[in-house]
Structure 1
Amino acid sequence: MQSSFSFSFSGDDIDEDLQAATKSENSHAVLPLGMSPGTSGPGAVTSAFPVTGQPLLPATVHDLDEMLSRLPSKIAYSTLTVDLGDGSASFQLPRRELWDVRVQLMAEEDTEGDGQGDHEACLGDRDVKTGIYEGGFKSWESSVDLVKVLDSEGFSQTVGQGPWRVIELGCGTALPSLAVFQWACASRASGTNPAPLALVLADYNPSVLYLVTLPNFILAWALQMCQGNPVLEAALSSDGELELGPEVLEAFRAFLRASGVAFTFISGAWSSTFVDLLYNPELAPSSQPDEKTIVMGAETIYSPFALASFSETLLSILRRELAETSHPQVAALVAAKRLYFGVGGSLDDFIDRMRGFGVVVDMLREETDGVRRGVVLCRLPPPATNCHSIA
């Protein structure tokens, strides 16, 4: 029997069409998950709330062209304003409208696969349907916190100086990676010589990747590059819609090729197979000699199960980066609530666990208004001093 649940985290949901609901005492804000299944110890696989006898989705890489072919003829969008904190600067991130996702899901309700499950979960009153939908259609405050840290750490300038590899675990609407991509687009629009940028977007549900993750990147590109481009100017309407005709999609592909931007989309449960896919030379972009890697995750440690699997997956990636790249420069940014009431996950427990593995963890940002949150930087010490292992 599938379990489903919801929690009243007032203020967590930043989607405009749900803000009114979160003001009600009886409303249900969607629990920010992004990604919950993964590994717990050698060879074992768990999920945040395991379902006995139900197999988890296998880690799978998705072809960009196939994902583009599944998009509708047009998508509706709005923009999220991110206040960068200096009193004047702000940043606009486009996102596909949730109601537009619902329309597409309803149109697909008779198809096979996970579309039906996501349709039920997205339109129902439950936050999560375990093993079917892991919460990736919504955007959350910790994702915005992560965007602010990326800006304050100067990533808006350094992304154009690559090469960079950005891996977002439990991406959902992918606001942090979307900010990185938008900054990269801006540097290319200004005439700066493009440095290679590899973006790896991972979410448990494949439908999240093609329904919200990929559309958000197309929107960011179209809005950033539309000036002086007749194809994009004609495709963008004044009432918040983007036509996705063949010319637009081919222009998107051409931009990626010309700009040295490569996408890798991975769905499924965290596992050793998932980590192996990140480093499969046949599936992932080739590493650059001076490439720097940043791993990101927001709202991925909401329960003890999720915290353990995320921590172990993150540690495996950090170790692989140090072992398999010629000039390893890798760090991780993790954003989360200080405590997830009712389910037991906490940022402090994550910090303690990672430090127990020998990882250096520094607090970069703390939020004390409303639900307490934080963003931490995780790095491995030099290999010679790293003697910790996962039991």
Structure 2
Amino acid sequence: MAATNSNSENVQKPSFETFQLFSSTASGFGIFDDPAQQAPSIPPPPCVEVLPSEVHSSVKHSVESVNLDGITLLKGRVNTQQVFGLSNSDLVPGKYEGGLKLWEGSLDLIKALRCDIKSGLISFGGKRVLELGCGHGLPGIFALFVGAAAVHFQDFNAEVLRCLTIPNLNSNLSNKSHPLSSNFTNCDKIDVRFYAGDWNEVDKLLPYVATHVEDNQNAGYDFILMAETVYSINSLQNLYNLIKKCLRHPDGTLYFAAKKYYFGVGGGTRRFLSVVEKDGVMASSLVAEITDGSSNVREVWRLKPKEYHPSFSCCSCLYCCWFPWNVRFYWDLEKGKSQPMWLQGSKIQYR
């Protein structure tokens, strides 16, 4: 959540800001908006790894606590005007994508993850986690405190990582007052990294993304977390393509929290799920629905690769490893090792 230049310091500020993306020319009905009108007019910033030492000390960073059903995390506050030269703006396509604000979805996501952990459905112990569009990075920070072995944070803007995400992580790590801190004892042994860049290219920097077919079996993130990332219809396909490149096959899980519809920009959970369903390789399940009767419906969804289906078998031994996209492996009885095969439409091509 971005700090403001208000002189009224005694006025209580909300713990998050609602999503306001209307413009004077927007129709207000996202499903009818023209995606061509939403394309960024400037090229995206370059993809870079941001080091923890690159924190902007000149930018004032203050923190306040966020209580999540008994768990307290810290969220930072920085001034959007000071960082980007912008005021009263949620985003500027191609320049700033709202990463300095804390959206409701981040908190919804943490609550959903905590519920699934308590029920025994998931565990972050020893797992690799990638948070896309991280902003404050609270879901990724939560994953650290519940045992993740690696957490990588990604945001569109390097400035968000330097001025907010990294300082926010440091503040939470130094806070010993909340119950989760007792679970977090080996900070030096955990792989924590930060990456900035557009979803269309940032996968080239991520260390757990396979660069060769042979690497697929050991590559990928066990969990991908994201909140309020599906607001723009123009970016949904690139986001989904990135998820497919980054998610571990075939056991990875994606959790995402967002509003059902983002009026004025065309995105939302249902529009993103339509992209997923069209591809046909991931199964989705609704984890939580949050309604208050007066604002937009918010949802948390879980996505996993669909289970192996026998129709993809290519040999009688059925020792096939199902991969959910265009590459699969089969056991070559003659050569005594696994071999890749590529699917093109309904045909299987062996190489």
Could you tell me the TM-score, scaled by structure 1's length? 0.62
Query: What secondary structure does 1:224 align onto?
Result: coil
State yes or no: 1:337 paired with 2:259.
yes
String of CA shifts for 1:332-359, please: whole Å, max 9, x gaps. Answer: 0011111111221121121222122121
Q: Which structure's CA Rg is the greater one?
A: 2
2:229 to 288, 294, 300: 300
Q: Which residue is equivalent to 1:311? A: 240
Deviation of 1:373 after TM superposition, in Å, equals 1.1
Could you tell me the TM-score, scaled by structure 2's length? 0.69
Between the aligned partners of 2:164 and 2:196, the Cα distance in structure 1 is 13
1:366 to 276, 281, 289: 289
Between the aligned partners of 1:299 and 1:374, the Cα distance in structure 2 is 10
String of CA shifts for 1:191-248, please: whole Å, max 9, x gaps. Answer: xxxxx61111000111100111111111111112799xxxxxxxxxxxxxxxxxxxxx
Deviation of 1:307 after TM superposition, in Å, equals 2.1
List gaps (5 residues or longer) in structure 1: 1-15, 23-27, 33-45, 84-89, 107-114, 185-195, 228-251, 323-327
Quick one: structure 1 residues 47 and 270, their matched pair in 2 at CA, closer, same or farther if it must change by over 3 Å?
Answer: farther
Q: Which residue is equivalent to 2:329? A: none
2:187 to 228, 253, 256: 256
1:67 to 54, 62, 68: 54
Quick one: structure 1 residues 387 and 299, their matched pair in 2 at CA, closer, same or farther if it must change by over 3 Å?
Answer: closer
Quick one: structure 1 residues 20 and 218, their matched pair in 2 at CA, closer, same or farther if it must change by over 3 Å?
Answer: closer
Query: What secondary structure does 1:374 align onto?
Result: strand
Deviation of 1:102 after TM superposition, in Å, equals 2.3
| One-letter amino acid of the counterpart of residue 356, structure 1 | K
| One-letter amino acid of the counterpart of residue 310, structure 1 | L
Query: What secondary structure does 2:38 align onto?
Result: coil
Quick one: structure 1 residues 300 and 155, their matched pair in 2 at CA, closer, same or farther if it must change by over 3 Å?
Answer: farther
| One-letter amino acid of the counterpart of residue 211, structure 1 | C
Q: Which residue is equivalent to 1:235? A: none
Q: Which residue is equivalent to 2:156? A: 204
Q: Which residue is equivalent to 2:173? A: 221
Number of matched residues?
283
Between the aligned partners of 2:36 and 2:245, the Cα distance in structure 1 is 18
Q: Which residue is equivalent to 2:206? A: 278
Quick one: structure 1 residues 287 and 311, their matched pair in 2 at CA, closer, same or farther if it must change by over 3 Å?
Answer: closer
Query: What secondary structure does 1:365 align onto?
Result: strand
State yes or no: 1:176 paired with 2:139.
yes
> Retained in 2: the 8 A contact 1:182–1:224?
no
Between the aligned partners of 1:390 and 1:270, the Cα distance in structure 2 is 25
Deviation of 1:74 after TM superposition, in Å, equals 7.8
Deviation of 1:20 after TM superposition, in Å, equals 10
Between the aligned partners of 1:80 and 1:61, the Cα distance in structure 2 is 28
> Retained in 2: the 8 A contact 1:59–1:270?
no
Deviation of 1:47 after TM superposition, in Å, equals 10
Q: Which residue is equivalent to 1:102? A: 79
Query: What secondary structure does 2:144 align onto?
Result: helix
| One-letter amino acid of the counterpart of residue 296, structure 2 | V
Between the two proteins, what is the percent identity of the paired residues? 25
